[in-house]
Chain A
Amino acid sequence: MFKHRRLLLTPSSVAICAIAFSLCSCATVTKPSSQVRVQQLKDVHLAFIDHYTCVKATPATWDQASFNSEVAKITQQFTDAEAAESKAVPARKEFIKNSAKLFQRDAALVRKQHCLSPSFAANKKKQLQQNYDLFLQQQTSH
């Protein structure tokens, strides 16, 4: 019994435990930058849908310049995220390219209608969440 306790508390075993603990901490706290970028795209895309959802069937006051500026900013985020992905993992580039296409379609719909029905917004957010979450889960499991 005491022998075992002495073995566990030797300086070398404490050092091994400390290294193992710090490595585990890194693995859980730090996400790869690719996942962080996709998570940011997901957040900004969902926020865009929320922003342009009609409140009580009434479109908010339409500001074309503000809308154009917002769309340009988000489009640039997709472009930057795609450019930041290594060519060695074409699936990631393809995923971001497809997600950018979805965003452009959503932006075109808002440009036409000026606001989105609450039903559409709920359905669209479900569609987007599944799209981004499936990709993020696949990246985490790899």
Chain B
Amino acid sequence: MSKLQDALNQIKDPTVADAKTQFEQLINEGKAASEAFIKSSAEQLEQWTIDVSNKEMSQDEFDNLVSSQTILAKNFVASQALAAQERAEKLTIKTAELAATKILPALLIAVI
């Protein structure tokens, strides 16, 4: 079992089950991407989630990293060809939003 799965398994709230599955799929898809920025964004987001689950980072710190990465991702998405922008946005900005709005709040309740 991966460290990300270990972290997500700590969330027992059934209302977040779909979000957990979606998040894991997006992270895996991002990590498999050929674009260095998307791959790196997914790897970093995974690491941040694991660090919060291990109580090594605060929520404010996680939010800082996510909001900073969103600024960088917007720039990256804008630099992509029009046809590739939707996928790039899904694997960077949307995944980070999902982590910040659904995964992190449930994870913090589970680990605190």
Contact flags (1/0) for B40-82 with A, using CB distance below 8 Å?
Answer: 1000100110010000111011001101110110010000000
CB distance from B75 to the nearest CB of A (A): 6
Contact of B44 with A117 in the complex, beta carbons under 8 Å: no
| Chain A contacts with B in 89-129, Cβ cutoff 8 A | 94-95, 98, 101-102, 105-106, 109, 112-113, 116-120, 123-124, 126-127
Contact of A109 with B47 in the complex, beta carbons under 8 Å: no
| Chain A contacts with B in 54-69, Cβ cutoff 8 A | none
Contact of B58 with A127 in the complex, beta carbons under 8 Å: no
A94-B75, A105-B67 are contacts. A119–B51 as well, Cβ < 8 Å? yes
Please report the total number of A residues contacting B with Cβ < 8 Å.
Answer: 22
Please report the total number of B residues contacting A with Cβ < 8 Å.
Answer: 19
Contact of A123 with B58 in the complex, beta carbons under 8 Å: no
Binding site for B on A (CB under 8 A): 94-95, 98, 101-102, 105-106, 109, 112-113, 116-120, 123-124, 126-127, 130-131, 134
A-B contact pairs, 26 of them (CB 8 A): A98-B72, A98-B75, A101-B71, A102-B68, A102-B72, A105-B64, A105-B68, A113-B58, A113-B60, A117-B57, A118-B56, A119-B56, A119-B57, A119-B61, A120-B51, A120-B58, A120-B65, A123-B44, A123-B65, A124-B65, A127-B44, A127-B65, A127-B69, A127-B72, A130-B40, A134-B37
